[in-house]
Amino acid sequence: MTEHGGPREGRFDVDREQMGRDLVALVLTVVELLRQLMERQAIRRVEQGDLSDAQVEQLGETLMHLEERMTELCDQHGLRLDDLNLDLGPLGSLLPRT
C-alpha cells in the first residue's frame, strides 16, 4: 500500500479463494498419484501371490476406502478427479486416464 492507501504500482490482486482452491487441487493431485501408485503395487503383489487371502481382502478394503475418501475430498472442494490430472506436454498426463 502507498501512503494514500492505494495498491502499489506493479502489484496485482490475488484471488485468495482461487489460490486456496489451486493449492488444495495440487495437494490432492499428489495424494491421488500416490494412491494410484500404491494400488498398482498392491495389484503386482497380489498377482505374484505374495499375500495371504486375509491380506488381499484387507488391502482391497483399504484401497476402496482410500478411493472413496479421495472422492469425498474432491466433492468438498468442488473438484472432480479429472481436475487433478496435470498435462505434462509432450510427456502426456501425470495421472493415467481411468
Predicted pLDDT of residue 64: 93
- What parts of the chain have a pLDDT lower than 70? 1-13, 97-98
Measuring CA to CA, which residue among 13, 24, 19, 31 is closest to residue 70? 31
Q: What is the pTM of this model?
A: 0.70
pLDDT of residue 15: 80
Half-sphere exposure of 31 (CA within 13 A, CB side): 16
Whole-number pLDDT of residue 46: 92
